[in-house]
Chain A
């Protein structure tokens, strides 16, 4: 008997297996078409911009294309002392070509980011080079400004030679490539980014902890109180949530500043003397207070929706089996709320790590975070590649947190409701 005859056929004579496959394929296409809009949306608004950010953060082809002769001449230069005449001559030729295309300004902008003070001397060169005599480029260029006699500026040019570079990522960690191509730290008085990264993590961590400590009892109350009270409480949680972020931040400023309402009250009840009012605003305290209040609903809501599903009889069962209320809570109730805790903490932490406007307003000197630095490079210095690099570093940080969470608790354990 051949295997052919063994196959089960459908009524219209097609083997069942094939017919099923066909139907399944149809379903698959239907399902795909249903999710296609969302998929497309995510690709366009999320995956694609991140890809674009990444290319922008490492792409340094502009300079490479602008100074081809210079980089060729620099290949043999060891980068220790001032480069030889050929480099100067090649640079002058390249720069003249750029000036003709009116692109010399862009070069100045780019090199100024590599080494501050470059733009001015290049503009000076642009004004003076029309009167240059043939030959002897090194002497004539060096005569224009003392910075041209400083080897650091030539090393900066050499650093920009590769078409793709990781230097922006290094800069985000207060490091750079030195003239030997080694990664070294920037001088101590300029190490700002690492402080900001650590501070951002610290603030996000503590805000999450505070939110958890305050949100857990609230959520528990919400889930266990009779409907008429819990509804009122729910409104109290949601009302600030519906108020504009800026309004809430500004209210905290009015409440907590040194001449503010809270301090006035302290003085009135005699808790503190009028001339030694505590500082609660324009420092980290202000950032903690305002951010915790603003992010609290993101902790309360997932916790509440998980707690709502836990039957009250479970606690009663625990107690009737001989546990004290605390043991019953700790052994029975708490483990059941872990999915909610995970969701809430992850939500609050991720939101806090990228927080921008509140720390900028209430943070003062000790309260600015890395996101403020990213905005600064987006808007003020126009160093978009650096801003992209830092944005991606932040994203990576969030993904790492997610990964750790997955390892510790398991991501399928998360519940938003």
Chain B
């Protein structure tokens, strides 16, 4: 049976292979983000190496690549993934393990790659790409006063109205604890220490539940990144958690009256992983090396407000301000890593979620079902 299924899947994939036989195929999230990748480092790399780079969209998760691998017909070379997925993919043997300092270029001043990146990688199969933020924003036309802290997000007395929060427990439990007075500590260590206990999880869930059942509050759950600015603009909610790049695009790109609040923001990372046994592994490795160097990573930040992973890339941006593609907006202050934005933050902990995601997910869904 397995064999027959393999054969069938191979036939289905055969066509797509022939169409991309010589290009390096990268699967990413599409939209404005992939556009920034393509213009920022994809196209320059392809030009420099003489290898075409083809971008395909996917919606995250490892199910597709796992299916390709089981069928013995892998068509993707590089995937843009969450930390959580690099850990799982590495464990399942889907991705190539890197020898970090050898496989990636040092900074222009000679600092080895492993020291130039902001933190260490969650697994041996990951190389950092961007840092983004889970923060919250409000529509200044609909909110009286100025929300400044994470406590204000939960303060329905002072700021009545519905809130939009992410559909799953990820980052919601963290901000709930931060709003109930837990100081995040270094990189959010205190928060995750509390979430390791059942009491901590319960406390966070209760806080969210209280917000969602509050007659003056209430929750809308969002699932796609485009939703939070949309919900704010239509007046459906007064405040929304979301990804900072999307809020930036709405404010700077489209002139919407949206204000971001960075208190207790969750810094999260996006990674590239190299597929083991991909159709063009050798070229893909070369392309990956180039795309993640200082200049190239800084290039993508011209098009979107996500921070490049390398410290040296930030320096390149600072020297080149105004860096945004419109030629007049300074980009560095909009980065989630800017000093003004990182006064109180936590790092989203992939290990915690890789470990406890399923169990907490069940509790979260049960809580939601009882709303």
Contact = CB atoms under 8 A, between A and B. Distances in A.
Contact of B363 (A102, A112, A189): A189
Nearest to A115: B359
A64 to B, nearest CB: 17
B33 interface: no
Contacts of B63: 378-379, 382, 384
- Is the interface on chain B under 10, 10 to 19, 20 to 34, or 35 or more residues? 35 or more
B7 to A, nearest CB: 10
Given A259-B235, A379-B60, A380-B61, A119 B366 contact: no
Interface string A187-216: 001111001100100000000000000000
Interface in A347-373: 360-361, 364-366, 368, 373
A359 to B, nearest CB: 12
A361 B220 CA distance: 11
A4 interface: no
B356 A117 contact: yes
A360 B223 contact: yes
Given A52-B5, A257-B236, A117 B355 contact: yes
Given A258-B236, A364-B221, A189 B366 contact: yes
B220 to A, nearest CB: 5
**Mostly helix, strand, loop or mixed at chain A's interface?**
helix
B88 A382 contact: yes
Interface stretch (A31-39, A103-111, A235-243, A312-320): A103-111
Interface residues of A, number: 46
Contacts of A259: 234-236
Contacts of B359: 116, 190
B38 interface: no
Interface stretch (B39-47, B89-97, B293-301): B89-97
Contacts of B235: 258-259
Contacts of B93: 102-103, 105-106
Contact of B369 (A105, A196, A383): A196
A381 interface: yes
Contact of A191 (B236, B355, B366): B366
Contacts of B223: 360-361
Interface string B46-65: 00000000000001111100
A258 B223 CA distance: 19
Given A116-B358, A379-B63, A365 B219 contact: yes
A217 interface: no
A324 interface: no
B66 interface: yes
Nearest to A103: B93
Contacts of B351: 120
B365 interface: yes
B14 interface: no
Contacts of B360: 116
Interface in A161-208: 189-192, 195-196, 199
B319 interface: no
Given A105-B91, A189-B366, A112 B221 contact: no
Contact of A44 (B8, B355, B371): B8
B357 A108 contact: no
| Most chain B CB neighbours (cut-off 10 Å) among A51, A199, A365, A373 | A365
A373 B90 CA distance: 25
Contacts of B366: 189-192, 195
Contacts of B365: 192, 196, 368, 373
Nearest to A119: B355
A116 B355 contact: yes
B101 interface: no
A282 interface: yes
Contacts of A382: 61-63, 66, 88, 92
Interface in B331-371: 351, 354-363, 365-369, 371
Given A190-B359, A282-B220, A105 B371 contact: no
Given A364-B220, A364-B221, A365-B371, A108 B62 contact: no
A373 B88 CA distance: 20
Contact of A192 (B8, B162, B369): B369
Contact of A365 (B1, B61, B212, B356): B212
B15 interface: no
Contacts of A260: 234
Contact of A51 (B1, B62, B356, B363): B1
B5 A48 contact: yes
A365 B221 contact: yes
Nearest to B354: A119
Of all A-B residue pairs in the complex, the 10 with the closest CB atoms, nearest first, are A105-B91, A379-B61, A116-B359, A259-B235, A365-B368, A190-B362, A192-B365, A365-B371, A192-B366, A195-B369
Given A190-B366, A259-B236, 6 more contacts: A189-B367, A192-B366, A258-B235, A365-B212, A368-B365, A380-B61
17 contacts: A48-B5, A52-B1, A105-B92, A189-B367, A192-B365, A196-B365, A259-B234, A260-B234, A282-B220, A365-B221, A366-B368, A366-B369, A378-B63, A379-B60, A379-B61, A381-B357, A382-B92
